[in-house]
């Protein structure tokens, strides 16, 4: 696809947002849906390292926050930390075995969900109860399944940004 | 040395982003329902609305397909349950045709056609909240259709929830099953007031403040109380008592209530143009 590389990132983010708010919001198992916006942050960390993982997490988190009734910035904060963490733990695994990104996405998703509930509870949102276990399990599994697609999508969107020497300091 | 500098720069960037998030969080928290951030939110929602509708339309076969897969387990147990209910209903129909007529007259006397005197706006449910931590739905009507924050949302079967956020063409409705939802209700038979609290998706509602001496029947209807300064108008059906028990020494009964509306598969709702009196 020959598209302006600068447009790829916004296209990916809006596409992910639409996917999350339409298709995935209806694909619920035990009332829980995959968290694609979190997966975008994780994929950023996997394909492009800690800094860009954090940046992508911030962008995708802030974007989905606009459409939630939880406090604005909550997802942004959590996704930033998760994107960074994945990047630190995992730089350059894109070319390793296929199951590494899958396992990483699963584990990081569980961590992200739990962190989200913890920070949310500190802000007075009732998020920690028995259902949290179900949420963490379903999000972990479904995000792991979606990980190969998400990693490709995010990798495409970062395009020249990823290899650009001036930005990779 | 280079590696050291690089990781320091990375960390600086991380701290910068995290602090920005926390700043926005604080501003949003302090700003409450109105403020610059809220208008950014509303603008974003209205801007995405047409794209969302387009995506929904284009992807509807996929949504239907995966929706069906997700629902499969539910549907099977629901099917079995419906068969049992059908059998019971057939028996009841024969036995209770007369009693039914009498009951209907009584209900009419009680004025249970609840939304009768109120203006309302029909709305389509666009989506459930794109999060696993809040039980809300988005509907396709907003301030342009006179919908406002605080208005009750119902279907023919009863109470759905309350509008918590509104933009020009979209509103967010907090479902009564959300743990943050509290509804003032009374039991239809005894008239005893209580508060119904959300228990999370697919869980029954918990009815609080019912004393141990109050008689509660399984299947008893629960309606909104409409007490002064209540968040809902009076006599909107909320659900039916599923079970009741009292632990020894407890100050109140543990009463669980099944919502009368199927809150998982909502398609159309009505917003009552009614706001709580201040």
Contact A26 B133 (CB under 8 A): no
pLDDT score at B112: 46
| Contact at CB, B25 and A25, closer than 8 angstroms | no
Residue A66 lies in a domain: yes
Helix (H) or strand (E) holding B242, with range, is strand B237-245
Q: Please indicate whether residue A156 or residue B267 has the higher confidence score (pLDDT).
A: A156
Residues B201-210: what's their mean pLDDT? 85
Is the pLDDT at B69 greater than 70? The verdict is no
Mean pLDDT of the B47-69 span: 77
The reported pLDDT for the residue numbered A168 is 37
Least-confidence region, from A17-31, B21-35, B219-233:
B21-35
pLDDT of the residue at A147: 94
So what's the pLDDT on residue A60?
A: 96
Q: Which residue is associated with the tokens 């990798």?
A: A155
Q: How confident is the model at residue B57 (pLDDT cuts 50, 70, 90)?
A: confident
Residue scoring higher pLDDT (B120 or A109) = A109
Catalogue the E-assigned strands of chain A: none
Distance from CA of B92 to the nearest CA of A (A): 33
Among A11, A19, A28, A130, most B C-beta atoms within 10 A, so best to mutate, is A28
Chain A contacts of B21, Cβ < 8 Å?
58, 61-62, 73-74, 76-77, 80
CA distance B14 to B26: 18
Q: Which residues of chain A have pLDDT under 70?
A: 1-3, 91-95, 160-169
> Which among A63, A36, A122, A108 has a CA at the least distance from the CA of B29?
A122
Q: Which of B4, B15, B17, B48 to mutate to test the interface with A (most CBs of A within 10 A)?
A: B17
* B132–A29 CB contact, under 8 Å: no
Q: Which CATH number belongs to the domain containing residue A35 in this structure? A: 1.10.1760
User: Could you tell me which residue, B153 or B96, shows the higher pLDDT?
Assistant: B153
Query: Is A164 inside a domain boundary?
Result: no
CB B174 within 8 A of CB B189: no
Give how far A159 is from chain B: nearest CA, Å: 20
ipTM, interface predicted TM-score of the complex:
0.79
CB contact, 8 Å: A128 with chain B? no
Nearest CA-CA distance, residue B141 and chain A, Å: 15
**What confidence tier does B18 reach under pLDDT thresholds 50, 70, 90?**
very high
A chain contacts of residue B27, beta-carbon cutoff 8 Å: 72
**Percentage of chain B surpassing pLDDT 70?**
80
C-beta separation of B229 from B276 below 8 A: yes
Contact between B70 and A27 using a beta-carbon 8 Å cutoff: yes
B263: pLDDT strictly greater than 50: yes
pLDDT for B105 equals 55
- What confidence score (pLDDT) does residue A59 get? 95
Q: Other C-beta atoms within 10 Å of B112: how many?
A: 16
pLDDT score, position B228: 66
User: Which of B58 and A113 is assigned the larger pLDDT?
Assistant: A113
Mean pLDDT of B207-219: 85
- Residue B82 CA to residue B76 CA, distance in Å, equals 10
Please write the tens of the pLDDT for every residue from A25-68: 777 788 788 999 999 999 999 988 899 999 999 999 999 999 88
Q: Which of A14, A26, A127 is closest, CB to CB, to B67?
A: A26
What is the rounded distance in angstroms from the CA atom of residue B275 to the CA atom of residue B119?
Answer: 11
Residues in B touching A27 (Cβ below 8 Å): 63, 66-67, 70
C-alpha torsion angle, residues B210, B213, B217, B218 (rounded to 10) = 60
Interior CA angle at B240 toward B236 and B245, to 5°? 130
Nearest residue in B to A128, CA atom? B133
Q: B41–A131: do the CB atoms touch at under 8 Å? A: no
Which of B168, B136, B172, B141 is CA-nearest to residue B46?
B168
Least confident of B33-47, B186-200, B207-221: B33-47
Residue A112 lies in a domain: yes
* pLDDT of amino acid A145: 94
**Average pLDDT score over residue span B195-219:** 85
- Tally of domains within chain A: 1
Contacts of A35 in chain B (CB under 8 A): 131-132
Range of the domain at A40: 5-156
Q: Residue A169: its pLDDT value, please?
A: 33
Say which residue, A167 or B188, is predicted with more confidence. B188
Please report which confidence band the pLDDT of residue B109 belongs to, taking 50, 70 and 90 as the band edges. Answer: very low
Instruction: Report yes or no on A165 lying in a domain.
Output: no
Decide if A25 is inside a domain.
yes
Look at residues B234, B92, B14, B190 and name the one whose alpha carbon lies nearest to residue A87. Answer: B14
The lowest-confidence range among A14-28, A102-116, B112-126, B233-247 is B112-126
Question: Would A161 be classed as within a structural domain?
Answer: no
How far, in Å, are A36, B130, B277 from residue A33 at the CA level?
A: 9, 8, 37
For chain A positions 81-110, those within 8 Å of chain B (CB to CB) are 81, 84
The pLDDT assigned to B278 comes to 63
Residue reference for tokens 């492009």: A48
Residue B108: band (very low, low, confident or very high) from pLDDT cuts 50, 70, 90 = low
Question: Would you say residue A139 lies in a domain?
Answer: yes
Tell me which residue of B142, B149, B188 sits closest to B169, measured CA to CA: B142
Chain A interface disruption, residue of B40, B130, B175, B180, most A CBs within 10 A: B130
CB atoms within 10 A of CB B251: 9
Residue-range domains of chain B with CATH: 35-110 (no CATH), 119-278 (2.40.10.340)
A64 lies in a domain?
Answer: yes
């Amino acid at each position: 696809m020959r598209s302006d590389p600068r447009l790829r990132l916004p296209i990916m983010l809006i596409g992910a947002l639409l996917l999350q708010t339409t298709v995935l919001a209806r694909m619920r198992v035990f009332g829980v849906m995959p968290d694609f916006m979190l997966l975008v942050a994780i994929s950023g960390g996997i394909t492009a390292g800690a800094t860009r993982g954090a940046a992508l997490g911030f962008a995708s988190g802030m974007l989905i926050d606009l459409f939630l009734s939880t406090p604005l910035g909550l997802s942004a904060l959590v996704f930033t930390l998760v994107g960074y963490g994945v990047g630190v733990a995992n730089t350059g695994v894109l070319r390793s075995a296929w199951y590494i990104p899958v396992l990483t996405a699963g584990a990081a998703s569980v961590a992200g969900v739990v962190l989200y509930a913890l920070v949310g509870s500190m802000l007075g949102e009732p998020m920690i109860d028995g259902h949290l276990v179900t949420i963490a399990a379903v999000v972990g599994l479904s995000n792991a399944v979606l990980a190969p697609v998400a990693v490709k999508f995010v990798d495409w969107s970062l395009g020249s940004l990823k290899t650009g020497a001036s930005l990779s300091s | 040395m280079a590696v050291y500098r690089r990781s320091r720069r990375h960390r600086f960037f991380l701290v910068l982003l995290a602090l920005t998030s926390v700043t926005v969080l604080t501003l949003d928290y302090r700003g409450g329902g109105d403020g610059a951030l809220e208008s950014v939110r509303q603008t974003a929602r209205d801007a995405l609305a047409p794209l969302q509708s387009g995506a929904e339309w284009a992807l509807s076969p996929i949504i239907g397909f995966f929706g069906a897969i997700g629902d499969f387990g539910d549907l099977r147990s629901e099917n079995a349950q419906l068969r049992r209910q059908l059998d019971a209903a057939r028996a009841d129909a024969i036995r209770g045709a007369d009693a039914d007529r009498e009951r209907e007259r009584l209900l009419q006397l009680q004025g249970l056609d609840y939304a009768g005197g109120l203006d309302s706006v029909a709305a389509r449910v666009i989506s459930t909240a794109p999060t696993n931590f809040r039980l809300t739905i988005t509907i396709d009507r907003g301030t342009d259709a006179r919908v406002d924050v605080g208005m009750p949302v119902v279907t023919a079967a009863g109470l759905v929830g309350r509008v918590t956020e509104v933009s020009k063409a979209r509103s967010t409705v907090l479902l009564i099953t959300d743990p943050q939802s509290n509804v003032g209700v009374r039991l239809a038979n005894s008239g005893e007031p209580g508060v119904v609290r959300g228990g999370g998706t697919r869980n029954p509602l918990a009815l609080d403040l019912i004393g141990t001496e109050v008689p509660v029947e399984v299947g008893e209807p629960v309606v909104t109380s409409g007490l002064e300064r209540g968040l809902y108008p009076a006599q909107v059906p909320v659900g039916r008592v599923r079970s009741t028990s009292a632990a020894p020494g407890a100050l109140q009964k543990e009463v669980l209530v099944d919502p009368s509306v199927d809150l998982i598969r909502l398609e159309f709702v009505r917003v009552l143009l009614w706001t709580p009196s201040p």
